[in-house]
A and B are shown apart, each in its own frame.
Chain A
Amino acid sequence: MHSIESFGTHDGPGIRWVVFLQGCKLKCLYCHNPDTIETSGGTEYDIEELVQMALKMKPYFGKKGGVTVSGGEPLLQAKEIIPFFKRLKEEGIHTNIDTNGRILNSFSKELLDDYADLVMLDIKHMTEEGYLALTGVSCKETTFNFAAYREASGKAMWLRYVLIPGITNQPELLHAMGKYFKDYQTIEKIEIQPYHKLGVHKWEALGWDYQLKEARENTPEELIAASDILKNYFKKVKIN
């Protein structure tokens, strides 16, 4: 398993120990961790080694926290995550996957059904063209199918949505998302991730062109407006 790790308070409920897995098939324009996109590199960890590290941190998890596997796209290594989560569950540690929902193979299904207490699904964009422009891949349906699969499992899910002025914050897009998901029972909340430029230097360090240079960060009013729209459809809307 390739990974780097740290603690977070914006990666699921409570204080989370976050394991970032290397590799992603997308190349989102705003990716904060572009250094995790390449499928090579990272440090290899033995699963039991990771479990022991998580156990050491258990006192900081409290009642809500736990382990989040993020990336990159963690489900590229769904097969390896299964035994990891299995062990964490044996130790009574809450598990969470932060995913773009592009991989729905037998391993990720097993993970969704049996081992991931929570899934945080990144919706990215509600239109086909928008999705392609933003992520470099087409067929947003894959993500929707993923959501449907999780819904059928009856287990908790959060949606995440990166809000970029002029690109993802149009009211019609927000309404479309709300309408599409409003009847989902497993969605506990949706988190708006305000777009910010903190990842830019990482892109530059990789020698890649940061194409979103023109985009700007949200004003507080824009964040509230987006949140107000989503509140019509979701139990809980949070601005991260």
Chain B
Amino acid sequence: MKIKTFNTGIWEKTINLRDFVTKNITPYHGTYDFLEGPSEKTLKLWDICKQGTKEERQRNGVHSVDTDIVSGINAFQAGYIDRENEVIVGLQTDALLKRSMKPFGGFKVVEKALSEHGLKPNNQLSELFTKYVKSHNDGVFDAYTDEIRKFRSLGFLTGLPDNYARGRIIGDYRRIALYGVTRLIEAKKQDLANIAGPMSDNVIRLREEVSEQIKALKEIVGMGKSYGLDLSRPAENAQEAVQWTYMSYLAAVKEQDGAAMSLGNVSSFLDIFIQRDLEDGIITEVEAQEYIDQFVMKLRMVRHLRMEAYDEIFAGDPTWVTEAIGGMLEDGRTKVTKTSFRFLNTLYNLGASPEPNITILWSENLPQNFKNYCAKVSIDTSSIQFENDDLMRSKRGSDDYGIACCVSFQELGKSIQFFGARTNLAKTLLLALNGGRCEFTGTQMIDGIPVYTDEYLDFDKVMDNFRIAMKEVARVYNDSMNIIHYMHDKYYYEKAQMALIDTNPSINIAYGIAGLSIVADSLSAIKHAKVKPIRNEEGLTVDFQIEGEFPKYGNDDDRVDFLASNAVAEFNNELKKLPVYKDAEPTMSVLTITSNVSYGKKTGATPDGRAQGVPFAPGANPMHGRDCNGAIASLNSVSKINYDDSKDGISNTFSIVPKSLGSDEEEQIENLATTLDGYFSRNAQHLNVNVLNKEMLLDAMENPDEYPQLTIRVSGYAVNFVRLTKEQQLEVITRSFHESM
């Protein structure tokens, strides 16, 4: 069998993808000159896809939905775009862009999403899911306390995955291509046999989970058969490797509709097969690029059925097919291969696109040619983001990882994470000023905070109260998370993804915060200027008067930047004290997705001078327009947040006008690459880069049809600009576009 031509290693004896990649990778240091354009077949398919997405936009964002079948790994018949031109096959349902129902997250959500498009589920299913089958959503609300409901409905905790799938878990989608399903089933059966008594809750649960995984693997073989593919055996050539990998991912997105369904880190794994076929003269570069283009095209066509309200937190219908590209191996070689370039090249071959969410794992030691190519792609497409490989690899102890959702490290096949949505830290600060009451309703949220009556805010007193508020909010937040993940495992277990991950992986829970820049600037105003709260008859703050100047986060000024990094550290410490379901390790992110707009609406006036209702800055960004000392000062401020306090990620979205990067393309490329080197050398974790002029976005708002593929980075992911709501578009436009470095 062909497989014998690979370099040997322990990967042959145990399931170990990292070992296989390390032993067989061909690092590439050259330029992008070798790349090829799209094949004729690819272009034909892409035309059909473009037509389909156009229809989708015309039909209010949803092309069509199957209302009869409950989606599952092998629930649908094979579907094609245009069979004779497809070298990589497979769709989520039996037709392009047709969405499916995944009711185990919550049936009401499915009903709602359908009704928004004038549809309803088939009657039998309605009866089944209302009378007999319990969903994740049902389970969570059976267990929620009044306190959690209160925090949730008043906007202190938001975006909780209690009525949709949690996502974030990344199956190791390389496994089937390397080993074939038969071998994976054998390994899982072995594991099951070793999970023995005494039969505690944990042991029983794990036995049930592994049995579910084995069923999923069998279903994957069935799904492959419907496309005429034998997934029970390993892939034998490059085309099969790409196909098998896609089928593995497809199983996951047929079964689950998690907010983020990352792909992992497949490009350099696939390169090993491609490289071998190229060396054997079996395929040409055009074919190699064709496999990747068509694979990526399929990933761009992944869809989930969502209700409109979902768009507030995750705007633009994202799927977060996050693929991490690049980085370094622990032995000092780079993970950059020709297929790393090929993935990026698809952004030219098919045009810009938000999906897959391409994330460059940036290291000081990446080949310069690759750095420059990434900078070029970023300038040309604003479709990719960057994360600090040197930082994550050393702090998290693995060089084989993917990015879950937007920014979060996840070792592939060995660990998973529980998505934790986020809490509103700015509202938490307002609790501290309002005796623990909600600033809008006056509802008593937490006890133990003295009523604040002084005419001016005193920094030390505010901090004392803020600490109490953080502690209490953390407690309720943790309670909600434990319930959610318990129920998700029980009612909507990710059996397809978990089948491709080691049995009993390590877990981290990914808590999050929003409103960091507002907290930092508010504390700075209280400390460095005089802030007088304006209170209504009920004694609730409705506005603030600021006398004097104060330093603002985003200008490389330690006086305020440390207030930001301290707030992160303190809240993280509170979270760390609390026990988590399945003994998951608590981690935290500073990330907002697009919910920064809706957070703003749900938050009263803040002591930094922000009026009630004004959107937050995204992620760890400085507030819009307040970082006025140039791009680098802004980057430096964000880089001061310590990754150790926010191991799930620190998202920074950075927009710069092309001219300020340099006067010609060559200069712009060099300067962007150097800026990334500089930023990451300061142990910053993440950067979304938009190289755009504001005028173009304004024009796209007026003439959306002329910009169907205009892609911008928002907060850890990218969106089609024209698919954002007007409100979100305006928020993006008011962000700081750095006109100087």
Contacts and interface: CB of A to CB of B under 8 A. Distances in A.
B677 A62 contact: yes
B631 A7 contact: yes
A167 B629 CA distance: 34
Interface in B698-741: 740-741
Given A9-B661, A238-B663, A15 B671 contact: yes
B125 interface: no
A10 interface: yes
B675 A60 contact: yes
Given A9-B661, A14-B670, A62-B670, A57 B632 contact: yes
A72 interface: no
Nearest to A60: B678
A10 B663 contact: yes
A61 B662 CA distance: 14
Interface string B659-672: 01111100100110
Given A15-B741, A57-B632, A60-B632, A9 B667 contact: yes
Nearest to B632: A7
Interface string A204-240: 0000000000000000000000000000000000111
Contact of B671 (A6, A9, A240): A9
A57 B681 CA distance: 11
A61 B660 CA distance: 15
Q: Which of A7, A9, A61 has the most CB of B within 10 A?
A: A9
Q: Is the interface of A mostly helix, strand, loop or mixed?
A: loop
Contacts, number: 58
Interface residues of B, number: 23
Nearest to B629: A6
Contacts of A9: 660-663, 667, 671, 741
A7 B671 contact: no
A64 B666 CA distance: 13
Contacts of A65: 674
A8 interface: yes
Contacts of B631: 7
Nearest to A6: B630
Given A7-B632, A239-B663, A59 B740 contact: no
Given A6-B630, A15-B675, A238-B664, A59 B670 contact: no
Contacts of A8: 740-741
Interface string A50-73: 000000010111111100000000
Contacts of A14: 670-671, 674
B191 to A, nearest CB: 46
Nearest to B364: A59
Contacts of A62: 670, 673-674, 677-678
Nearest to B673: A62
26 contacts: A6-B629, A6-B630, A7-B630, A7-B631, A7-B632, A7-B633, A8-B741, A9-B660, A9-B663, A9-B667, A10-B662, A14-B670, A14-B671, A15-B674, A15-B678, A57-B632, A59-B677, A60-B674, A60-B677, A61-B674, A62-B678, A63-B674, A64-B670, A64-B674, A65-B674, A240-B663
Interface of A: 6-10, 14-15, 57, 59-65, 238-240
